[in-house]
Amino acid sequence: MYTSYFGLEEKPFSIAPNPDYLFMSDRHREALNHLTYGLGDTGGFVLLTGEVGTGKTTISRRLMENLPENTQAAFILNPTLSSQELLATLCDELKIRYRKTGATLKTLTDKIQQKLLKNHSENINTLLIIDEAQHLQPEVLEQLRLLTNLETNTKKLLQVILIGQPELQQLLQRRDLRQLAQRITARYHLLPLNKQEVDQYLKHRLSVAKCFRRIFDKSAVNAIHKTCKGIPRLMNLLAERALMNAYNSNNAVVNRKIVLQAAYDALGDEYQVRSWWQGRWFKYSSLVALLILVSSAGVWWGTKQTLETASLPDGLTNKAQVIDTTNKIKMLQAELDEQRALVNQAVDERNQVTASNDDGAGKLISEKTTDIDKNNDTYPPFESELQDASNPTVSNLVVSNADNAVIAEPVKEVAKNKDYVVEATDGVSDELLASFQSAIAETKQVDEPVALVDGGSDTSLVSLAQMPTWVQDGVASLQFEMHIYASDGQGWVRVNGRDRYEGDYIARELLLSEIRPQEVVLSFRGEKFTMLALSSWN
């Protein structure tokens, strides 16, 4: 059908687990490396988990293709068996002859152990791979653990790979299976592909089918990633249907519209194509926009009502008070000018007395000084009130009348922190001049900038052994037995026999803050430090 139309030698998006079409993304490469590492000389159990359709079975097929020649493998696809049925299936896979009628657990176990010992003597490794292992019963898993008890001083005679969905991890956390969980030497959780890997995945499958041109445009790739969430099996279903729809509509390139229609055809009503205004995001956006509009209208109305009051100086609530304050400032200013005139007149008369040495002039100066003192006693509040009125929010006002409306508006700005200069005047002694200068210097306010010193605490983390004594004494005993680090950083470690994830409390007040490729970051009473991924603390 569409294969010749697009120049394909075969269907590139079959859901069969063909290892030839395995796309080795960074995640799949890490998963395969974990399985290979788990099949080392030590043996034991290896665990591979992942969501449905992420490519776990395909990775296991690639692993079996790369097994050494001295390896005998048994592959079980249907684990919904009893303990006796599982042992019988294992015997069939390993080509062990046994009497099918009347076979018991003991006879099957003895046959398997004899086969394991024979393979070991012939330098042959024995491998058991169980797919869909989340369906195994706890008693069956316990029987598998008993099979792995047969070992030498250096290795297990039977190596087991358990492949399953995330429920398998929860199953292995049961208390009655803790002995088996402790024998798992390697674990990996396979995650879906990201957007960039989805594009590479589609190109890889097409190139294996001998098609090297771009069939899925950028909009189609984005739609496939958004619809399938990076799960390869769903991507195969969707891409297969999209190619067929493109062929039926005589399109040489698959676009977003074709992908959305294919999603409805291949994945069901959940992916029905809807108009843009029927989407949930449009409804949510409309609701948010309406709320913002109502809030903005409320803020504008409140601002309009309070703008006139907010624009008045501090302590003034209406225009009448502004007018009264302005008139009062003018009266205080006039009184102060009158007192200054009297002071200047007294100074002039004193100069005249000094020049003539007339004794009667001293009396005249004394009388003028007395008059000035009386004026100061008569108007004691003027100076303080004028100081209060010198505030820019009060004194900087001019009153004008237009259409019977009195409007107060600023006309000048009172200078703050003004530098006053004292100049010598005839009749003023040097001592008096020096006193004035000293008083001004003492009362002058000088604003000094605050120098910010960047203390810059060292953000680098140190090991627990380098932390203070109170931290070391407070941290409980720790034993990091296993360290699993996934490609997205969502790994976990086994601490004191239990699996711990980022954000878990390992002990009282001891938090597992971060899991890194070769170390973990712990937090104890606000102090952070590191420990190697596989280490102990006593």
Query: What does the pLDDT look like over 101-116, one tens digit per residue?
Result: 888 899 999 999 999 9
Q: What gap in Å lies between CA 263 and CA 266, rounded to an integer? A: 5
φ and ψ of 287, to 5 deg:
-65, -45
3-state secondary structure 354-365: HHHCCHHHHHHH
Q: What gap in Å lies between CA 237 and CA 258, rounded to an integer? A: 14
For the residues 309-326, what does the mean pLDDT come to?
A: 58
Neighbours of 534 (CB within 10 A): 14
Q: What gap in Å lies between CA 324 and CA 403, rounded to an integer? A: 19
Across the chain, mean pLDDT equals: 77
Pairing of strands 536-537, 478-484: antiparallel
Task: Give the pLDDT score at 423.
Answer: 66
Topology of the domain covering 26-190:
Rossmann fold (3.40.50)
Model confidence at 428, in pLDDT bands (50, 70, 90)?
A: low
CB neighbour list of residue 428: distance below 8 Å, 6 or more residues apart: 347
Model confidence at 271, in pLDDT bands (50, 70, 90)?
A: low
Are 148 and 44 in contact by the 8 Å Cβ rule? The answer is: yes
SS3 470: helix
CATH number listed for the domain at residues 2-10+194-268 = 1.10.8.60
Task: Give the pLDDT score at 244.
Answer: 92
Query: Residue 414: pLDDT above 70?
Result: no
400, β-bridge pairs:
407
Q: Which residue has the higher pLDDT, 132 or 331?
A: 132
Q: How far apart are the first and last CA of the chain?
A: 68
Question: For residue 347, what are its two tokens?
Answer: 């100074």
Q: C-alpha angle with apex 46: 40 to 48, nearest 5 degrees? A: 130
Are 228 and 27 in contact by the 8 Å Cβ rule? The answer is: no
Task: Give the pLDDT score at 458.
Answer: 39
Task: Give the pLDDT score at 509.
Answer: 87
Task: Give the pLDDT score at 302.
Answer: 77
For the residues 409-424, what does the mean pLDDT come to?
A: 47
Q: What gap in Å lies between CA 524 and CA 510, rounded to an integer? A: 5
Pairing of strands 478-484, 405-409: unpaired
Q: What gap in Å lies between CA 111 and CA 175, rounded to an integer? A: 30
pTM, two decimals, is: 0.51
Indicate the Cα dihedral angle 319, 320, 322, 323, nearest 10°: 120
Query: What does the pLDDT look like over 46-100, one tens digit per residue?
Result: 999 999 988 898 888 888 888 888 899 999 988 888 999 999 999 999 999 988 8
Model confidence at 334, in pLDDT bands (50, 70, 90)?
A: confident
Query: What does the pLDDT look like over 338-390, one tens digit per residue?
Result: 777 777 776 676 666 555 544 444 454 455 445 544 444 444 444 444 444 44
Domain ranges of the chain: 2-10+194-268, 26-190, 280-310, 319-443, 464-537
Topology of the domain covering 464-537:
SH3 type barrels. (2.30.30)
Model confidence at 308, in pLDDT bands (50, 70, 90)?
A: low
Q: Which residue has the higher pLDDT, 292 or 398?
A: 292
Query: What does the pLDDT look like over 486-516, one tens digit per residue?
Result: 766 678 888 988 888 888 888 888 998 888 8
Q: What gap in Å lies between CA 253 and CA 221, rounded to an integer? A: 12
SS3 463: strand
For the residues 218-223, what does the mean pLDDT come to?
A: 93
Task: Give the pLDDT score at 196.
Answer: 92
